[in-house]
């Protein structure tokens, strides 16, 4: 078979929570949210090659993360009951660029990219909705990456309404600390009573991040980076952090502020997108391989 139809390279982008409201707490302790998700063009890359040995091989390994806990592995495992050929396996090469545990959803994105790639390579023929339903078991942010459109999200982040947002440039900052999502969501001072808003309100007026004060309190370095970034505009926290971001109308201004960023923090200038770069690349792959792909 033509090698092109047995392998695929896809980008796996990060997301930003443009705002994050906590509107309540469910009986199981999970928090009900309203958030606006936008993708950015800062991406990991995943190479998938079909094999015939029924194995899921991921390289290189992520430091201090056993393969079985890698969300890429978990996503591939979730799809195995749906493989057309029971002997099909996959070799996956991960080129990691996204900082982990930064609130930009790299792990969830990698899981979604894997679901999308293997659904095609393993000919599982599952709908996006079914893939999102499987993916939410791995994390609340997986569905938005599977669906691939910027979205107003409710529930724990899985009830999605497609939106079209402005696509500014962002300066993204990563303070040198790891924020524990669990610690933030169990803090007694976290506010959990932001009144629910309508999508029209969200799109017109935006919102805030209810986690910000608690994250700043637990993580002095996030606080320091926030105060620094705030000198340049409306600095925001994504998810439960630690990453912070600031929007700009043009790339020049974003680059100018980035050049003055203290060197102790990683920083990137990136572009907001309304469709996931994974979907753009997958659609391109499908177009190129349509005639070569056996049904």
Ligand X SMILES: Nc1ncnc2c1ncn2[C@@H]1O[C@H](COP(=O)(O)OP(=O)(O)O)[C@@H](O)[C@H]1O
Which residues are part of a known binding site for ATP? 99-109
Q: Look at strands 56-59 and 89-95 and give their pairing.
A: parallel
Subset of 58-87 contacting ligand X (CB under 6 A): 62, 65, 69-72
Burial label for 177, CB within 10 Å (0-12, 13-18, 19+), is middle
Residue (10 or 104) nearer to ligand X, CB:
104
The answer to whether the peptide bond before residue 60 is cis (omega within 30 degrees of 0) is: yes
Closest distance to ligand X from the beta carbon of 205 (Å): 25
Q: How far is residue 49's CA from residue 117's CA, in Å, rounded to a whole number?
A: 10
Q: Is 11 in the site for ligand X (CB under 6 A)?
A: no
The answer to whether the peptide bond before residue 204 is cis (omega within 30 degrees of 0) is: no
Q: How far is residue 127's CA from residue 131's CA, in Å, rounded to a whole number?
A: 6
Q: Is 156 in the site for ligand SUD (CB under 6 A)?
A: yes
Active site residue 217: no
Q: Is 102 in the site for ligand X (CB under 6 A)?
A: yes
Residue of the chain from 17, 35, 38, 110 that contacts ligand X (CB under 6 A) = 110
Residue (80 or 289) nearer to ligand X, CB:
80
Instruction: State how far Cα 127 lies from the chain centre.
Output: 20
Which residues does 252 contact at the CB level (< 8 Å), separation at least 6?
Answer: none
Residues contributing to the site for ligand X (CB under 6 A)? 62, 65, 69-72, 100-108, 110, 239
Residues contributing to the site for ligand SUD (CB under 6 A)? 17, 20, 29-31, 33, 35, 103, 105, 139-141, 156-157, 181-182, 185, 239-240
């Amino acid at each position: 078979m033509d090698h092109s139809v047995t392998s695929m390279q896809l980008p796996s982008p990060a997301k930003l929570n443009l705002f994050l409201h906590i509107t309540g707490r469910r009986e199981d302790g999970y928090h009900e949210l309203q958030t606006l998700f936008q993708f950015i063009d800062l991406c990991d890359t995943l190479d998938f090659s079909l094999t015939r040995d029924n194995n899921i091989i991921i390289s290189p390994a992520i430091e201090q993360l056993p393969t079985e806990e890698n969300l890429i592995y978990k996503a591939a495992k979730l799809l195995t009951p749906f493989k057309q050929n029971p002997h099909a396996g996959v070799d996956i090469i991960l080129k990691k660029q996204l900082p982990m545990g930064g609130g930009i959803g790299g792990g969830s994105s990698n899981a979604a990219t894997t679901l999308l790639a293997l659904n095609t390579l393993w000919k599982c023929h599952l709908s996006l909705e079914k893939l999102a339903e499987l993916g939410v078991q791995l994390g609340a942010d997986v569905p938005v990456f599977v669906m691939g459109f910027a979205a107003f999200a409710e529930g724990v982040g899985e009830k999605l309404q497609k939106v079209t947002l402005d696509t500014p440039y962002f300066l993204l900052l990563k303070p040198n600390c790891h924020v524990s999502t669990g610690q933030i969501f169990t803090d007694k001072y976290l506010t959990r009573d932001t009144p629910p808003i309508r999508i029209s309100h969200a799109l017109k007026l935006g919102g805030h991040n209810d986690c910000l004060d608690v994250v700043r309190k637990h993580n002095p370095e996030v606080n320091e980076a926030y105060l620094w970034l705030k000198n340049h505009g409306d600095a925001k926290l994504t998810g439960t952090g630690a990453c912070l971001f600031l929007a700009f109308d043009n790339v020049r201004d974003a680059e100018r502020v980035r050049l003055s960023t203290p060197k102790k923090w990683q920083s990137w200038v990136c572009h907001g997108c309304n469709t996931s770069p994974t979907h753009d690349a997958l659609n391109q792959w499908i177009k190129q391989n349509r005639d070569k792909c056996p049904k």
